[in-house]
Structure 1
């Protein structure tokens, strides 16, 4: 286990791999030469250069005070005081503006990077694959929400100083050479090289543990989120003691990693502070050589004091420019750790997308995409219905399965072998079998979120909610209003004229037929933006009935139902399936209840060995007649 953990983090260092991964993000950070991030970055550079000019003049203030006070020049003193106050006000203004602009740059960067990750994350069913099927990337949610935030925030604060530093260093090397000769800049350069080498050796272990710490933070947060989402289920088990131990275990792993990180950071902080304070006396060592050699014997005491003060500032600030880069090493470790995590996720998302593209490329052109076009999400349901009514007559089948064999992902146990099935309009199919035999797995394969081992699924319709709708075993509800739950997975659209009343009346009718009018009363209307978690507010039965309201609203030609009536009564089940029949919805249902057979025409039965059989369901009153 330790070896595997080590292999997963061995490349997460401040090295060539970090720079390769960071350059992957540059097109998102700077989309074009005239984009908002570029303009904000240029403004930051201008502010940084202006600040260096002001800082230089502020640094010369003490030497000028030495001069005017040594000469007892009262008018010069007050003039110099006015200049100094003006410079200080200017510096305060520049610093505040720099912070303001860098904060805006951080927000723009976070928005750009997160939106680009969302595009890849929500492409087809990549989000399902990375969370359920692919386990190589821990906590994708944390990487998108927290790691991107840390990366963009930290980078916005240090990007301008990193770019300006070489120019500032070059200028102060020139000024240092004027005051103390070649020994000043050469000594500072040697000092910086030694400090850089030492800090580089100490940085890589810190980067690795920053990466591990972020992973442990995600695991600890996810455990508490799990408790929050399932608190009622845990409460029925009175499992507080067990969950406390599990949370404490995650906390121990996190604290233990932070202890290791603190120990690694100790040596780095010691080196950083050591070189900072050594730099503060180096200016006096550098100026001492020309003074002791008599280069400035001709100067008066006030002039010599002013020279020492000015040269001290130049040398100290030159060292400060170098040590700022050294100080940034601690910050860069945070950037390196988060960059590795963000780009690792990006690489996995791209790999999964390529796998999906390869799979979809083998399907017929007209139905390669799982989902539906953006146009359907933008136009109203009345326009969709009009378009469908004007379209040619729909196919009489949703899909046809030929010689299908499938397993669970990363498993060799066959759940089904050699299945042949055609889901035709008007022919309801019931899928039965013991728990765990592969019934729900069939729906995952049909939907395309699980791969097939052998065989084909020929889709004869577009997989969009107006044609075929899947109701998963665990109902899904997004955040927002009651209307948003009903029209899901469509986006909200503009409703004009009489269509508003038509749609509202339709939704209220379905709420009444599913005995959910009280839910609309609790939300105070269809469009009230509620803040609650729908899973906490609705019972399991209410969630299943609301899922049927969603089905009736879309009124597709086909529906695939996975245990969709397991939490409601027999009478409510009858009402749901009767309304499906009245609306002309052909269903493929997974279920255990015997009462479901009366609403279906064929039974697809799975055995524990992976074999399946199809037989007609003989209803009472048909005199034994079988269905062909």
Structure 2
């Protein structure tokens, strides 16, 4: 089994892109429309409410901070009534503060949920657009662990941001107010000393923050790689068990764990330095107030005050200075959380940017395709014979004809589902041409069998004509829409979503979608199709068509059952055309004949990839692809009798 490539240390380019820098602010600005869709949106209203609570809390805290100085005066003057009045006010203020803090926490958590919902849904909208989820996971791969970025990184970003957004916005106002109050009690020395103190602390912490941001980014990447390895074992546990590969997989999984632990060790070392700086400035701030008030006291500025009044002044000034310092140090303290926001912001917005790039590239590629099937510079593969009404396959370089059936003059001409013209394609990020100059039509009533050695590009051809791989040269033009009832693909590995048996059969329709009116209930149709695919027992096994199961369908179905259930889905939709990739490789010859016969009865024209010789009798034309990129078309005469 292949291991996931791990980059243990960030490259220089990566360092420039994931730090606490201008790019972070640029990317954060791109998130704002997702955080606040409009001024009247719930997140906007919640943030305004949080700001109001924050300002109210500052007012309450200011009054609580003044209580000790008033106690000094009341106790110093032995004022009994003032003491009890002050105690009542203090209890009321404390209860108010407890209510405000609890409400703030609740609103912050609710805001976090709104943000996570908004950002995740927006990412889902881009991720599931067209086939971008396939492109970013399989074709491009320049962004690591998209699933982790959508699930875990968005969660961390929104959780941390909801906790610090209000304090960050309110801090400038509280700082300005307490600078004014500090100047009143200690002159210019108080606010100036605090500002100098804050600037020095900010410079130190900025120097220590950037390495932490980079390591947070790298840690999330390593977490994703470690989780992916465990997911790989979970998804392929049976295959690994047949190899008895526990020891080697343990070693490879421990390798990912070692990379993660090493990154976390480097991170906690950097965080140690940052936390040391933060805590040092926190505690130095606690004595700065006494230094600032001590200077005017020693200079005799307050000699005229009585002892109780001087004690009250020192207490009030200490609160103002300490709280001013606290406002600054709160910003410094938030730097640790900002590093997490910076790291996760880079990862989330980088995913968004890559999805937008892939979509733009896809749209640009689509614009260069012809709007219809007119104007091709090659001879029609299928032409009408002048002496009859027989569909004929004609190639200038190959002298053969294939009879595909008789038609009356009044019938509509057969539909062409796909027209492939001068097609050359390669695997993503490869230069080896898998097929060169391929030309053929996939036309109603003519089944095509695609053959060739393993690795020659048969499945790759299906990816190209489906549009999930780009062509290097040439065109693939669709004459019918890729809708389940018109053109349906059965991939080599059947896909089953989570949910009930009905949901597996009707996929990719929604639960509330149904077949056109056939005079029968949907349940009868599905049960009949399951029976024809020899899957009638599944309904009893899961407890009914609509029983919601919480297990993985891949763990409870055999490979043959998965392929037969995939055919049941095909029969349910009954499209005019179907593309099958090794769709009967896990079923017996008798079941294969039953499934292909049902396709014929339902009028489904097939383009099949397969190796079995038994498939030839169900097809009219063989498209054979060689490993050198050459190809050939030849008739399968037995196909007209199938």
RMSD (Å) for aligned C-alpha atoms = 1.9
Cα 1:292–1:621, aligned 2, differ >3 Å: closer, same or farther? closer
Deviation at 1:5, TM superposition (A): 3.2
1:53 matched to which residue of 2?
59
Contact 2:620 2:640 in 1 (8 A): no
Residue number among 531, 537, 540 corresponding to 2:556 in the alignment: 537
Give the superposition deviation at 1:219: 0.3
> 8 Å contact 2:116–2:158 — kept in the other structure?
yes
Which moves more between the two structures, 341-350 or 517-526? 517-526
Q: For the Cα contact (< 8 Å) 2:421–2:476, is it kept in 1?
A: yes
Matched-pair contact (CA < 8 Å) for 1:437–1:606: yes
- Distance in 1, matches of 2:9 and 2:164, equals 35
CA distance in 2, matches of 1:620, 1:30: 61
What CA distance in whole angstroms lies between the structure 2 residues aligned with 1:534 and 1:353?
31
Aligned to 1:511: 530
Cα separation, 1, equivalents of 2:361 and 2:40: 35
The aligned residue for residue 325 of structure 2 is 319
Return the match for 1:166 from 152, 167, 172. Answer: 172
User: Which residue is 1:415 aligned to?
Assistant: 434
Aligned residue in 2 for 1:132:
138
1:437 counterpart SS class: coil
1:178 is displaced (CA, Å) by 0.8
SS for the counterpart of 1:10 is helix
Alignment correspondent of 1:92: 98
Judged with a 3 Å threshold, the aligned counterparts in structure 2 of structure 1 residues 491 and 178 are, in CA distance, closer, same or farther, namely same
Q: What does the per-residue CA deviation read over 1:316-371, in whole Å, with 9 as the maximum and x for residues that have no partner?
A: 0000000000000000000000000011111100000001111112234579xxxx
User: Which of 3, 14, 20 pairs up with 1:14?
Assistant: 20
User: Quick one: structure 1 residues 393 and 287, their matched pair in 2 at CA, closer, same or farther if it must change by over 3 Å?
Assistant: farther
- Output aligned runs, 1:196-595, within 5 Å: 196-365=202-371, 396-493=415-512, 502-595=521-614
> 1:399 touches 1:458 (CA, 8 Å); kept in 2?
yes
Structure 1 gaps of 5+ residues are 368-391
Compute the displacement of 1:265 (Å).
1.1
Aligned length, in residue pairs: 599
Structure 2, unmatched stretches of 5+, are 1-6, 374-410
CA 1:445–1:66: 2 relative to 1, 3 Å: same
Indicate if the aligned counterparts of 1:440 and 1:562 stay in contact, CA closer than 8 A.
yes
C-alpha distance in structure 2 between counterparts of 1:569 and 1:500, whole Å: 33
Give 2:381's aligned residue.
none
1:154 aligns with: 160
CA distance in 1 between counterparts of 2:316 and 2:535 reads 81
Q: By percentage of residues, which structure has more helix?
A: 1
- Large movers: runs of 4+ above 4 Å: 1-4, 364-367, 392-395, 494-501
Q: Is contact 1:30–1:38 with CA below 8 Å preserved after alignment?
A: yes
Output the CA distance in 1 between the equivalents of 2:14 and 2:251. Answer: 26
Other-structure match for 1:619: 638
Which deviates the most, 416-425 or 214-223? Answer: 416-425
In 1, Cα distance between the equivalents of 2:435 and 2:315? Answer: 85
Q: Normalized against structure 1, the TM-score is what?
A: 0.93
